[in-house]
């Protein structure tokens, strides 16, 4: 198969290059190293049974198969990889029946399988099927359904003014299977200029707790009050209701966290808290995905530190630094 141009799939350029390497059998699997006399003939990093070549590692290994099953069921349609990976047939819709979304999904799954394999080799992280599949599916959705241009910016411009600003966006993604959440926040002024943004991850047991943790995380970054936040936007309607009404939840840990939130809000002279659909603030959603995938807390004071794919989401939404 000839080279594919960077950008054929609706995915970041780096991922297209990875696909290109796969098609040329140039991904540095154990067998690749062995072939070039760069290492011993070590078995598959996932199953430890077969030789680790591209077709085995990414496709026929029973552990990878578990991931493909999850991806396929999340997608709701069959994915056709019957001719293997390196042949590239899966990239031809006329032959394989895979449409552009399915092709992008396959590429993304391959990429996250590769990352999981490298994390296993270098950090001894165990492969978590659901985590890999959710990251792969989420990643494609993020790119495939490009947001309406300037959506977040227009949302801010049409709904808020100087007196409502700074505005604090929070978001959270919750992974039910791993009980991990990605947390994020963005402080913006009333002209959609970002003051500061951050992401992190946390162990939680429900989506509401994820949203509460995210709010806590954001408020703790504001605890010194220098930004003087006036409006808080939260994507979890249940949490907004509880904070507004003072109702109790069933979960004592959650109640404790909500008390902390209310305490900080009091010291900040009670900014107003409102529900916002996540779709209206995709940058915060993307940051939460970033948070889920990284162990450490990330804080962004200048846009230049943002990974490129995040920068792109921010740009598309019309937010600027």
Ligand X SMILES: *[C@@H]1O[C@H](CO)[C@@H](O)[C@H](O)[C@H]1NC(C)=O
Residues β-bridged to residue 260? none
- The closest of 162, 158, 137, 141 to 67, measured between CA atoms, is 137
Applying CB under 6 A, does 82 fall inside the site for ligand X? Answer: yes
Strand bridging mode 167-175 / 180-188: antiparallel
State the nearest-atom distance from the C-beta of 149 to ligand X, in Å: 4
State the nearest-atom distance from the C-beta of 152 to ligand X, in Å: 11
Candidates 96, 134, 170, 214: give the one binding ligand X (CB under 6 A).
96
Number of residues that bind ligand X (CB under 6 A): 15
State the nearest-atom distance from the C-beta of 63 to ligand X, in Å: 23
- Dist CA 49 CA 46 (whole Å): 8
- Dist CA 30 CA 51 (whole Å): 8
Candidates 42, 50, 80, 206: give the one binding ligand X (CB under 6 A).
80
Applying CB under 6 A, does 7 fall inside the site for ligand X? Answer: no
State the nearest-atom distance from the C-beta of 191 to ligand X, in Å: 10
Stretch that binds ligand X, among 62-70, 79-87, 280-288, 291-299 (CB under 6 A): 79-87
- Dist CA 302 CA 28 (whole Å): 35
User: What burial class does residue 47 get, using C-beta atoms within 10 Å of its C-beta: 0-12 exposed, 13-18 middle, 19+ buried?
Assistant: middle
CA distances from 158 to 78, 170, 194, 256 (A): 42, 19, 17, 35
The pattern of x and - marking residues 277 through 316 that bind ligand X according to CB under 6 A reads: -------------------------------x--xx--x-
Applying CB under 6 A, does 97 fall inside the site for ligand X? Answer: yes
Residues β-bridged to residue 65? none
Candidates 26, 49, 95, 118: give the one binding ligand X (CB under 6 A).
95
Site for ligand X in 113-152 (CB under 6 A): 149-150
Applying CB under 6 A, does 72 fall inside the site for ligand X? Answer: no
Applying CB under 6 A, does 93 fall inside the site for ligand X? Answer: no
Nearer to ligand X, 182 or 318 (CB): 318
Q: Residues 27, 21: contact at Cβ < 8 Å?
A: yes
- Long-range contact list for 53-56, CB < 8 A, 24+ apart? 53/29, 54/22, 54/25, 54/27, 54/29, 54/85, 54/86, 55/84, 55/85, 55/86
Applying CB under 6 A, does 65 fall inside the site for ligand X? Answer: no
What residues line the site for ligand X (CB under 6 A)?
80, 82-83, 89, 95-97, 149-150, 308, 311-312, 315, 318, 320
């Amino acid at each position: 198969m000839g080279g594919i141009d960077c950008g054929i799939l609706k995915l970041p350029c780096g991922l297209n290059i990875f696909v290109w390497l796969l098609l040329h059998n140039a991904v540095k699997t154990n067998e690749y190293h062995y072939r070039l006399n760069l290492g011993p003939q070590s078995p598959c990093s996932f199953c430890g049974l077969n030789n680790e070549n591209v077709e085995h590692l990414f496709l026929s290994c029973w552990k990878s198969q578990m991931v493909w099953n999850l991806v396929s069921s999340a997608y709701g349609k069959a994915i056709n990889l019957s001719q293997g990976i390196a042949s590239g047939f899966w990239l031809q819709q006329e032959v394989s029946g895979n449409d552009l979304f399915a092709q992008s999904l396959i590429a993304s799954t391959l990429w996250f399988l590769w990352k999981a394999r490298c994390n296993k080799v270098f950090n001894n992280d165990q492969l978590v099927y659901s985590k890999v599949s959710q990251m792969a599916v989420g990643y494609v959705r993020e790119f495939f359904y490009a947001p309406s241009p300037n959506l977040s910016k227009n949302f801010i411009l049409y709904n808020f003014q100087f007196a409502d600003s700074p505005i604090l966006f929070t978001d959270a993604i919750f992974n039910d299977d791993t009980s991990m959440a990605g947390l994020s926040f963005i402080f913006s002024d009333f002209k959609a200029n970002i003051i500061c943004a951050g992401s992190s991850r946390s162990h939680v047991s429900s989506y509401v707790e994820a949203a509460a943790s995210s709010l806590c995380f954001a408020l703790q970054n504001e605890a010194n009050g220098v930004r003087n936040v006036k409006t808080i936007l939260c994507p979890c309607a249940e949490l907004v209701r509880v904070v507004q009404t003072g109702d109790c939840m069933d979960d004592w840990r959650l109640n404790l966290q909500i008390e902390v939130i209310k305490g900080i809000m009091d010291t900040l002279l009670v900014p107003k808290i409102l529900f916002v659909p996540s779709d209206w603030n995709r940058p915060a959603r993307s940051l939460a995905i970033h948070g889920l995938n990284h162990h450490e807390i990330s804080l962004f004071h200048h846009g230049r530190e943002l990974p490129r794919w995040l920068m792109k989401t921010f740009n598309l939404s019309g937010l600027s630094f």
